[in-house]
Amino acid sequence: NAGVTQTPKFQVLKTGQSMTLQCAQDMNHNSMYWYRQDPGMGLRLIYYSASEGTTDKGEVPNGYNVSRLNKREFSLRLESAAPSQTSVYFCASSEQQGNGNSPLHFGNGTRLTVT
Amino acid sequence: GENVEQHPSTLSVQEGDSAVIKCTYSDSASNYFPWYKQELGKRPQLIIDIRSNVGEKKDQRIAVTLNKTAKHFSLHITETQPEDSAVYFCAASSIRYGNNRLAFGKGNQVVVIP
C-alpha cells in the first residue's frame, strides 16, 4: 500500500515551458487535492477534486490546470511556467464522503524550480 | 474564505517541557480542525484532529483543545522530545466553502533543545 505517489520528485523548467505533475493514490479515496508550499506561506490549495469527474478551483488556481483522470489519478499541468511557480507541490487525498471531513494523506512532494 | 492564523511563529522549548501552539480561525461555521506535523524535507502528516462537537482530544503526549466561542484551538505537546522538532500546521474546514476544503495556517517551527 503505497498511499499517495507523486512524480517527479524534482524538476527544473525554463520560463515558458510546460509540464505535468502526476499523482496517484491506492487508498480508494474519493477526494484529491493539489497544494503548493512556499516559505512562510503555509500550504495553499491550487485545485481539488471532490469526486471522480469533478474539479474545482482553490485559493491560487491561476496558471494551472488539472485533470481527474480516474478515481486514482489527479494531474496538475503548468502550461507556461513562470518563476513565481517555483515551489514545492504536494498532492493529497482524503476519503471524504457526504458532509463529513476526513484527514488528508499527502504525497512526498515535487520540488519545482522555474528559471 | 476561512482565515487561519498561528502564533507564535517559532517556539523553542527545553526537552521535557511542554509546548503550546495556538490557532485562531475566522469562520464560525468551521467544524473540523486538524493538526499536521512536517519534518524537514518531508511531507505533512496528520497528528491529531478535533471536530466542533468536542472540546478536547488527547493522544498520548499530544492534545488539542477547541474554544468555539473564542474561535481558537490549541495544540499541546507534553514531555517534549528532540523528535518533536518540526513545523506544525493547523487547519480549519468550513462547510460554507466546501467539505474538506482546508484552510491552513502558515506554520509554527518548534525546536526542542536537548
- Kindly report the three-state secondary structure assignment for every residue of A52-108: CCCCEECCCCCCEEEEECCCCEEEEEECCCCHHHCEEEEEEEECCCCCCCCCCEECC
Share of chain B above pLDDT 70, in %: 95
| pLDDT bracket for residue A115 (50, 70, 90) | very high
Strand B10-14 to B108-113 pairing: parallel
Quick: pLDDT tens for B28-70: 988 899 999 999 999 999 999 998 888 999 999 999 999 999 9
- Measure A33 CA to nearest chain B CA, in Å: 9
- Predicted pLDDT at A39: 87
pLDDT of residue B100: 64
Instruction: Dump pLDDT digits (tens) for B1-21.
Output: 788 999 768 999 999 999 999
According to the model, what pLDDT value does residue B53 have?
Answer: 86
- Tell me if A60 sits within 8 A of A46, measured CB to CB: yes
Share of chain A above pLDDT 90, in %: 80
Mean pLDDT of chain A: 93
Q: Do B43 and A107 touch (CB under 8 A)?
A: yes
Say what the pLDDT of residue B7 is.
73
Question: What DSSP state is assigned to residue A16?
Answer: T
User: Cβ of A108 and B93 within 8 Å?
Assistant: no
* Residue B21 neighbours by CB under 8 Å, 6+ apart: B6, B7, B8, B11, B74, B75, B88, B90, B108, B110
Amino acid letter, B9: S
Cross-chain CB nearest to A48 (options B34, B49, B101): B101
Across the interface, of A42, A94, A109, the residue whose CB is closest to B100 is A94
Task: Check residue B22 and give its pLDDT.
Answer: 94
Query: Looking at CA atoms only, how far is residue A14 from chain B in angstroms?
Result: 24
Provide the CB-side half-sphere exposure for A112 (13 A, CA): 32
- pLDDT category at B102 given cuts 50, 70, 90 is confident
Residue B97 has pLDDT above 70, yes or no: no
Q: What is the pLDDT of residues A27-83, one digit of tens each?
A: 999 999 999 999 888 899 999 998 888 999 998 999 999 999 999 999 999 999 999
The pLDDT value recorded for residue A98 is 55
Nearest-angstrom CA–CA distance, B29 and B95: 7
pLDDT band at B76 (very low <50, low <70, confident <90, very high): very high
Residue-level pLDDT at A103: 87
Which residue in the block uniquely carries the three cell numbers 460554507? B96
